[in-house]
Structure 1
Amino acid sequence: MSQEPPALHDPDQAGVFFVGGNDLDVLAYYAFDARLLSRRIDLMGVRDKRTLLLRIAVALDFPVSAGRNWDGLLDSLRDLSWLEASGYVLLMEGAGELHAHNEPEFDTLIAILDQAQAHWHTQGVPFWAFLALRDKDIAELED
């Protein structure tokens, strides 16, 4: 990371952020140090909603009853009662491929992560999502 990491324990600073792939290990360390539950979600090769939802559900050990659609993803991210913790850090590796091949699904994912973060903020719980993108994806999003 080229800059000072955010205070991961602070729900007022939590949110959804784009980072480089090399930043995920550092963020995992800081999440551990802040005593937050972190989960690495491998999005390499993900180009469609079905695969995306499956990867997230497996990484976060969603209950079998969780819906396998966008509403189900949001409901599950706002619950997480089976992963009780003082805060959450999602480390999404390889998100650039989804962005490059299916921008509408990528945008929907970002919107859902933002809604989940807003929910947890009202509870005073930090909820972070770090999506690792390629440099060219980050530059494209900044334009």
Structure 2
Amino acid sequence: MPSLDALLTQENPSGLYRLDWTGDPAALAETVAARGWRVFFLDGRRAVDKPSFLRLAAEAMAFPGYFGWNWDAFEECLTDLAWVPAAGYLILYEDPVTLAAHAPEVWATAYAILADAVETWRQTATPMVILLRGGDHLLAHLPAVTVTPGEEQV
């Protein structure tokens, strides 16, 4: 189980992980942003279907005006991010279980696109880490990342 620090300092840590930590996402975001990374927080309690999930992602990641509000457009924006250049990208998706409970097929598609996106970023020099937090029964198959004491502070 790697720590967040170990994950962020690897040469290309791109991947999809389960976050085993209950601390403040804002503190974590500050720490990661201090490394030159862009941090996007998705409050999954607001995503209960495809339109609300896409709206959540578009708002959190400041998708450009040409975003097409469909799965292909979501994937294209997720694997481009040219409008928000950074040393790396971290998406913290809080409570994905809400979407999985309300719209399992939508969750399955969103999850597949997230997983494909990190594979795309692995082929670049820019890492993308996606941390899913909450609903451990849903995420048990993912490798876990922990945040050690003090690691969430700059």
Indicate whether the TM-score tops 0.5: yes
Shorter-chain TM-score tier: 0.7 to 0.9
Runs of 5+ consecutive residues of structure 2 not aligned to the other structure: 143-154
Aligned mates of 2:11, 2:68 — CA distance in 1: 27
How far is 1:129 from its partner? 1.0
| Residue 106 (1) aligns with residue 107 (2) | yes
Residues 1:133 and 2:130 aligned together:
no
> In structure 2, what is the equivalent of residue 68 of structure 1?
69
Would you say 1:18 and 2:1 are equivalent positions? no
- Return the offset for 1:64: 1.1
Higher relative contact order structure (alpha carbons within 8 Å, sequence separation ≥ 6):
2
- Give, as a single letter, the amino acid of the residue that structure 1 aligns with 2:47: V
TM-superposed CA distance for 1:28, in Å, is 2.6
Write 1 or 2 for the structure with the bigger share of helix: 1
The within-5 A match list for 1:76-115 is 76-115=77-116
The 3 A distance-change label for structure 1 pair 111 and 137 is: closer
TM-score normalised over the length of structure 1: 0.83
Match of 1:8 in 2: 8
Q: Give the superposition deviation at 1:57.
A: 0.3
TM-score (normalizing by structure 2): 0.78
Q: How many residues align?
A: 140
Pairwise CA distance, 1:46: 1.6
Runs of 4+ that moved beyond 6 A: none
Q: Secondary structure at the match of 1:79?
A: coil
Alignment correspondent of 1:44: 45
**Whole-angstrom distance in 1 between the partners of 2:114 and 2:125:** 16
Letter in 1 for 2:3: E
Partner deviation per Cα, 1:93-126 (whole Å, 9 max, x = no partner):
1211112222221121111111111111111111
One-letter amino acid matched to 2:98: E
Provide, for residues 1-51 of structure 1, a one-character-per-residue CA deviation record: whole Å limited to 9, x for no partner: x86224214353321112246156364354234321111111113210110
Secondary structure in 1 matching 2:45:
coil
**Deviations for 1:71-109, whole angstroms, at most 9, x for unmatched residues?**
000000111111011110011112111122222211211
Give the CA RMSD over aligned residues.
2.3
Instruction: Give the Cα separation in 2 of the matches to 1:22 and 1:13.
Output: 22
Query: Can you give the 5+ residue segments of structure 1 that lack an aligned partner in the other structure?
Result: none
Q: Are the aligned partners of 2:42 and 2:56 in contact in 1 as well (CA < 8 Å)?
A: yes
